[in-house]
Amino acid sequence: MQNINKILNIGSKHLKKSSVKSPKLDSEILLSHVLNKNLKEMILDCDFKPKNNDVKKFRSLIKRRISREPIAYILGNKEFWKYNFYVNQNVLIPRPDTEIIIEEILKIFKKDQKISVLDIGTGSGCIIISLAKELPKIYGTAIDISKNAINVAKFNAKMHQLKNRIKFYNSSVDNFFKGKYDLIVSNPPYIDNLKIKYLERDIVGFEPLVSLKGGQDGASVLNKVIKKSSSLIKIGGKLVLEIGYNQKYKVMNLLMKKKFHINKIIKDYSNNDRCIIATKL
Ligand SMILES: C[S@@+](CC[C@H](N)C(=O)[O-])C[C@H]1O[C@@H](n2cnc3c(N)ncnc32)[C@H](O)[C@@H]1O
């Protein structure tokens, strides 16, 4: 029987050989998941010898990671903002850069404001659910073109006791006509279809293409979101969009054509333009 230290080393060696980016950390996360211990407990207890069955389970998870399945899908969850979300291959894995959207919205609206919020392309529901948690008086509506994504988002809303405050619709943005909103938020697919094939295997091989493909220039869904938002938003309402690193001017133009005033463009942690905030005039 081998101890934790030895098992971790073997796992990380296999991952390294297959050029997985963070072999040591991934090996630790997967073993801690199998043993149901947090990372700290596991490292402190590194002489412990896990049962054969657990070692077998660990090996099968390492194999999945070698095939480049992302850790979040293997574990079935991902932290976003302050919360944990169930994820599977029907939804994009929530990204830390998207937390910028939450951070900026919390600078605009106060905790006791009663506002109606629409999330377009909700995926796992991470944006609307985090907002509803932080702003307890908002009413949320969330739409997604993918029925399977809506099911995941509903599950997450239930897990976070928000079933009664967020309505979910399986709808494309083009076909959605319900309500008038104080705030519309969207992280739409914005990658140029021709560039999808250059993404890492972890992404392109596992995450849903409908959450990545933004059309010929990457801005076709963004364009639809802006057009539709222009009629669904109240005068003076805010539109907050996540955008691709090279889409600032294109999106600014689209917004100005639809009579939005650009308030702010925020950079992500890698210093790329990532989020744009506009007000409907
Ligand atoms: C980049 S993912 C964002 C998911 C989630 N909001 C997040 O930030 O992690 C984009 C989402 O938009 C959805 N989507 C793509 N095209 C759409 C459309 N035309 N109308 C509505 N939703 C769409 C996809 O199914 C996907 O869930």
Which residues, including other chains, have CB under 8 Å from residue 40's CB and lie 6 or more apart?
A: none
pLDDT of residue 1: 81
The count of C-alpha atoms lying within 13 angstroms of the C-alpha of 179, restricted to the half-sphere facing its C-beta, is: 19
* pLDDT the model gives residue 215: 94
Residue 86 confidence (pLDDT) above 90: yes
- What is the per-residue pLDDT across 144-154, written as a single tens digit (0 to 9) for each? 999 999 999 99
Arithmetic mean of pLDDT, 128-132: 98
Angle value at C-alpha 75, between 189 and 87, nearest 5 degrees: 35
For the stretch 23-42, pLDDT in tens is 999 999 999 999 999 999 99
State the distance from the centre of ligand 1 to the C-alpha of 189, rounded, in angstroms: 6
Tell me which of 146, 174, 207 to substitute to probe ligand 1's pocket, judged by most ligand atoms within 8 Å of the beta carbon. Answer: 146
Q: For strands 116-120 and 181-186, give the pairing.
A: parallel
Residue closest via CA to ligand 1's atom 12 equals 121
Task: Give the percent of the chain with pLDDT over 90.
Answer: 98
CA nearest 143: which of 160, 163, 128, 133? Answer: 128
Q: Give me the residue spans of the domains in the chain.
A: 4-67, 78-280
Predicted confidence (pLDDT) at residue 216 exceeds the cutoff of 90? no
Write the pLDDT tens digit of every residue in 167-192: 999 999 999 999 999 999 999 999 99
Per the prediction, the chain carries an average pLDDT of 97
Give the max Cα distance, the chain: 69
Ligand 1 centroid from CA 75, angstroms: 22
Which CATH class for the 78-280 domain? alpha beta
CA 71, CA 261: separation in Å to the nearest integer? 40
